[in-house]
Amino acid sequence: MLENDLKRNNRKWNYIISIEKNHEGYINHYHIHAYIRCVKKLNTTDLSYFDVLGNHPNIQFHSNYRSSKAMIKCVLKEYNEPLSNFNYQDLIADKPKKRTKAPELQ
């Protein structure tokens, strides 16, 4: 169902979703952590756009690489096999991005 919601409006999303046990003393109480990135810019005034099953999530916007990396690590902190549709391992592995040399002009 969530996957169908992410496909609405023919948008491409990258996502990582995991479940975390609640640490406030509740027995068998879990909550969801998710990293969701829209590949193209998203403009919406719909306050319920990201609601899931009628629940409004705690949404935090971060636009830069370092913040995205920290958010992904937070999503993975208790669960190392999340539901994901992209390769996030390279992003969090502290591997420098390979740069290719521009071709010589002749």
Q: For residue range 61-82, what is the model confidence (pLDDT) as tens digits? A: 777 777 888 888 888 887 778 8
φ, ψ for residue 93, nearest 5 deg? -85, 5
- Rounded CA-CA distance 24/16 in Å is 24
In the structure, what pLDDT confidence band is assigned to residue 5 with cuts at 50, 70 and 90? low
pTM higher than 0.75: no
CA dist., res. 80 & res. 39, Å (int): 24
